[in-house]
Chains A and B, each alone.
Chain A
Amino acid sequence: MPPSDDRAFPGTIFDESAILSIKDLSRMCAVDERHIVEFVEEGVLSAVSVSSEWRFTGDALRRARLAVRLERDLELNLAGVALAVELLEELAQLRRELGARR
């Protein structure tokens, strides 16, 4: 039986609805702002400039958290993190396509 709707929490698609500042992102990933800047400079994250301040979309949170985990647990440097994040996303995409073809 499906759960009744009146007790359900309304969810929003974070990736599309959210606009994050560097301060938000640094708090949400528990790393300092300088580190977020390094991720942007290395191309791990992309930011848009709004009146000389960076803004991130919600999917930057997922990428930044992944980058932080890889960096910490695999002891990767920034360039390694950037490469790993790119390859992992490509791999996920390929797995999705492959899984759907079977």
Chain B
Amino acid sequence: MEFKDYYKVMGVARDATDAQIKQAYRKLARKYHPDVSKEKDAEARFKDVGEAYEVLKSPEKRAAYDQLGQDYRPGQDFRPPPNWDSGFEFSGAGPGGDASYSDFFDALFGAQARAGRGRRAETQPGRGEDHHAKVMLDLQASLNGGTRSFTLRVPEIDAEGRLVSRERTLNVQVPKGILAGQQIRLAGQGEPAHGNGTAGDLYIEVEFQPDPLYRVDGRDLYLELPVAPWEAALGATVTTPTPGGNVELKIPAGSHAGSKLRLKGRGIPAAQPGDFYVVLQIALPPADGEKAKAAYAAMAAALPFNPRASLGV
């Protein structure tokens, strides 16, 4: 087990005041909190910071840690001496929420912290706790429903009373029409019951993987459809992919780049389904041959067209 330098994690001096420690914690927590941070490894960093703060904010734990830490350097192999904690009294609830701490922390404070923690207040004795997870889902699953396989990390208390996480793969029938940010509930798939209570539930919050074709806005879907200049100018019927399969779409004459065509009710399904929008993009044919160059030249000669008229030049 490695010795952890909690002062270094927090970026404070060993003689930092409580106020300095609190200030450092708040700054780091805002930076690395998984709910607000986009930093890489935010979750791991936040865990380290939370663990360091848990020790340094408590006068008893900090004093015990300081006494122990005098002879250690970070990364050095660490073994707690027998009865190292005698003479210190630990109070407080210990780790809050779903925090799981390092082996180092557990070796020092685990027993006390967990003893002080107890189970959270239960209104239904014997009921297992609910579990929560987040997954990335492909848009097709929401459009068509279907079964997807998710691998989740499940926190568990092992035989020695330590909090560990275990991988669990779950096949789920994804409800049709689920939107980004919504939760799928799986009844009875949370923590198992204690005694003859009931099991907790599992909530899976969904986020969509970027789709190669469609952009999602609430229940509406957007497709950027490239068309040739003459298709936009003269009108045309073109084949367009939609979630329900290809359709023949009529492009009205006089369309321009950014023109939006709506296919009502062909978005994400629901009692009031979303709409499907086709946004036109003008694709220019390359002028890569004599014929193509001649065609562009003929257009230039025939059309009195100033694309920059709106700029006043």
Q: Do A and B bind each other?
A: yes
Chain A positions within 8 Å of B, measured between CB atoms, are 2-5, 7-18, 23, 26-28, 30, 32, 58-59, 61-62, 65-66, 69-70, 72-75, 84, 88, 92, 96-97, 99-102
A28-B130, A88-B35, A100-B216 in contact; A5/B173 too (CB < 8 A)?
yes
**Are the C-beta atoms of B181 and A9 separated by less than 8 Å?**
no
For B210, list chain A residues within 8 Å (CB).
99-100, 102
A8-B147, A65-B132, A99-B210 in contact; A13/B35 too (CB < 8 A)?
no
For A11, list chain B residues within 8 Å (CB).
172-175, 184-186, 204
For A13, list chain B residues within 8 Å (CB).
175, 177-178, 182-185
For B185, list chain A residues within 8 Å (CB).
11-14, 17-18, 58
Q: How many cross-chain pairs have Cβ atoms below 8 Å apart between A and B?
A: 114
Chain B positions within 8 Å of A, measured between CB atoms, are 22, 25-26, 29-30, 33, 35-36, 46, 50, 96-97, 120-124, 130, 132, 146-149, 170-175, 177-186, 189, 203-205, 208, 210-211, 215-217, 222
**Are the C-beta atoms of B183 and A61 separated by less than 8 Å?**
yes
For A99, list chain B residues within 8 Å (CB).
210
**Are the C-beta atoms of A59 and B189 separated by less than 8 Å?**
no
Main secondary structure of the interface of A (DSSP, over half): helix
Complex: A2 Cα to B144 Cα, angstroms: 14
Contact of B215 among A58, A73, A84, A100 (CB under 8 A): A100
Complex: A5 Cα to B29 Cα, angstroms: 42
A13-B178, A72-B97 in contact; A8/B183 too (CB < 8 A)?
no
**Are the C-beta atoms of A62 and B33 separated by less than 8 Å?**
no
Distance to closest chain B CB from A74 (angstroms): 5
Can you give 7 contacting A-B residue pairs, CB < 8 Å?
A3-B147, A9-B189, A16-B182, A65-B132, A70-B35, A73-B97, A74-B26
